[in-house]
Amino acid sequence: MPEHLFFIALCILIVAFLYSCVGHAGASGYIAVMSLFSMAPAAIKPTALVLNILVACLGTYQFWRAGHFSWRLFWPFALPSIPFAFLGGYLNLPTHVFKIVVGIVLLLSAARFFIGPPAEREPHEPSRAVALGVGGGLGLLSGLTGTGGGIFLTPLVIFMHWARTKTASAISALFILVNSISGLVGNFSATKTFPGFALPSAVAAVLGGAVGSYLGSRRFPVTTIKQLLAIVLTIAGFKLIFTQ
Domain ranges of the chain: 2-242
Supply the Cα-derived Rg of the chain in whole angstroms.
Answer: 16
Find out whether 191 and 33 touch, Cβ atoms under 8 Å: no
CB 170 within 8 A of CB 20: no
Do 12 and 204 touch, CB atoms closer than 8 A? Answer: yes
Tell me what pLDDT residue 116 has: 67
**Predicted local distance difference test score (pLDDT) of residue 219:** 87
pLDDT for the residue numbered 170 = 94
- Length of the chain as a residue count: 244
Mean pLDDT by 10 residues, the chain (244 residues): 79 92 86 79 79 92 93 95 82 68 80 72 91 92 78 90 92 91 77 71 92 91 85 84 72
Query: Which string of b and e fits 153-164 if b means at least 16 CB within 10 Å?
Result: bbbbbbebbbbb
Q: What is the DSSP letter of 215?
A: I
